[in-house]
Amino acid sequence: MSVLAHVFEAAGIATVVLSSVREMAEKTAPPRALHCEFPLGRPLGRPGDAAFQHDVLARAFALLSLPSGPVLVDHPEVIEADESPLSCTLPPRFDPSLPPAVDEARGLRRAYDRALARRGVTSVGRVIDADGVPGALAVLHAIAEGADWKDAGIPGGNTTAVCHDIRTYYEEAALELADGPVPGGRAVEDWYFEQTEAGATVLKARAAIRDGGGKFPVWFYMTPGQR
Amino acid sequence: MNGDQAMRAHSATLPSPVFEHPAWVTPPPLTRSTVAIVTSAALYAAGDEAFGAADTGYRLIDRDRRDLVLGHWSPNFDRAGVAVDLNVVYPIDRLEELAAAGTIGGVAPRHVSFAGNQPDDVSTIRLDSGPAAAAALRADGVDVVILTPV
């Protein structure tokens, strides 16, 4: 973002960056930056809170009246990521002949469909659509149980993309099922990796691919780096 | 160290280009400025070209589109916030409100999205796709951009 600020400014457009990594803003020194210590992925801070978002924009736009730069100012509020998993009920076991994650994904389909109908758009679809999620989890289950990952039939041949689609399917369904306020940053991620069969399956398959000689990019980006 | 702390610590170590002679533009008063959003969330309008894993290009988003797909390839940030409220990454409704209130002069007809996970030398966005996107916004009469990172 800070690099793009320099590029746009050089083209004759005044810029303000909402910085998310202060050290990077210090090094790259864009003309105007408001550092926002908010959860990554939420540069305006609070979903569903128009007043807070307006406060962020007002502080950012105020920098446009300064006569010279570079200027780097901190938003006064710090919002920590929520490290406690979202409270979201999972479907009960329905078909014990299926791997648990496959059964679970099937059980979430109605919630996912409701989310899609309400939002009108989904970010599932990089290599599989919602119909492909149970099958993709069956492949990852087989890898976790010892099948050779190279011959397992990973959809699209792309572990990062298929894991993105599975996780997004779950997260979009979870937001439809969960009650209460908007979950904090990382709360839905924590729910997925710590409480769902799918998350556990992805973590096991990732370890199996790593231990089975998969190159770093093949397994590492299946989950967030800290996992 | 939680996930955000780990990512911030990692990002702080990434190389950064030095701009020896940075440009500085004094915009018109905000009440007369046309404002656009430039995000690195790899958002794109449904039906438009998806972002590839090492995509150095950009997508233009028409002002009235809200059916946006999150095309970012990194698994290392929260995605639930933008699924709940697009404005937490792409504050288009907030800009419309500011324009209606007269706080800004207007909302740009098109906005810009890049992918945040760029090659370390960032040479393409610096020398090619970035200037091209800026030229598109200049052609639309944009005076100010707010850049939102993911």
For chain B, domain boundaries: 26-148
**Residue B20: what pLDDT?**
86
**Residue A28: what pLDDT?**
93
Report yes or no: B123 at the A interface, CB cutoff 8 Å: no
Report yes or no: A14 at the B interface, CB cutoff 8 Å: yes
Give tens-digit pLDDT for A70-127. 999 999 999 998 888 999 999 999 999 999 999 999 999 999 999 999 999 999 999 9
Nearest to B66 by CA among B40, B45, B95, B37: B45
**Residue B124: what pLDDT?**
87
Note whether residue A144 is domain-resident: yes
Instruction: Give the pair of three-digit tokens for residue B80.
Output: 């639930």
B11: confidence class by pLDDT, cuts 50, 70, 90: confident
Q: Which of B8, B19, B150 sits opposite A6 (nearest CB)?
A: B19
Q: Is B138 in contact with A12 (Cβ distance < 8 A)?
A: yes
Taking the C-alpha atoms of residue A120 and residue B60, their distance in angstroms, rounded to an integer, is 20
Please compute, for residue A174, the number of CA atoms within 13 A of its CA located in the half-sphere on the CB side.
29
Q: What is the pTM of this model?
A: 0.95
Separation in Å, CA of B99 to nearest CA in chain A: 12
Q: Does one domain contain both A154 and A218?
A: yes
Q: Token match 């911030």: residue?
A: B8
Report yes or no: A117 at the B interface, CB cutoff 8 Å: no
Note whether residue A35 is domain-resident: yes
Name residues whose C-beta falls within 8 Å of residue A224's C-beta, 6 or more positions apart in sequence.
A189, A193, B3, B75, B76
Note whether residue A93 is domain-resident: no
Report yes or no: B25 at the A interface, CB cutoff 8 Å: yes
Look up the ipTM and state it. Answer: 0.96
Domain count, chain A: 2
- Report how many Cβ contacts below 8 Å link chain A to chain B: 265
Q: Does one domain contain both A105 and A187?
A: yes
Taking the C-alpha atoms of residue B3 and residue B96, their distance in angstroms, rounded to an integer, is 33
What is the mean pLDDT, run by run of 10 residues, along chain A of 227 residues? 94 98 94 97 97 98 96 97 89 96 98 96 97 98 97 96 98 94 92 97 98 96 93
Question: Helix A109-119 to helix A159-177 angle, to the nearest 10 degrees?
Answer: 80
Q: Name the least confident of A185-189, B14-18, B108-112.
A: B14-18
> Above 90 in pLDDT, residue B119?
no
Q: Which of B88, B114, B147 sits opposite A15 (nearest CB)?
A: B147
Chain B positions touching A72 (Cβ under 8 A) are none
Domain stop point among A74, A109, A135? A74
Chain A positions touching B78 (Cβ under 8 A) are 39-42, 81, 185-186, 188-189
Domain that holds residue A40: 2-74
Q: Which of B2, B89, B93 sits opposite A186 (nearest CB)?
A: B2
Q: Does one domain contain both A158 and A203?
A: yes
Separation in Å, CA of A171 to nearest CA in chain B: 7
**Residue B121: what pLDDT?**
72
Mean pLDDT of B69-85: 94
Q: Does one domain contain both A139 and A50?
A: no
Note whether residue A151 is domain-resident: yes
Q: Does one domain contain both A106 and A64?
A: no
Q: Does one domain contain both A69 and A114?
A: no
Chain A positions touching B87 (Cβ under 8 A) are 44, 47, 50, 53
Report yes or no: B139 at the A interface, CB cutoff 8 Å: no
Chain B positions touching A8 (Cβ under 8 A) are 38, 130, 133-134, 137, 145, 147
Q: Does one domain contain both A150 and A200?
A: yes
A72 strand-pairing partners: A33
> Above 80 in pLDDT, residue B6?
yes
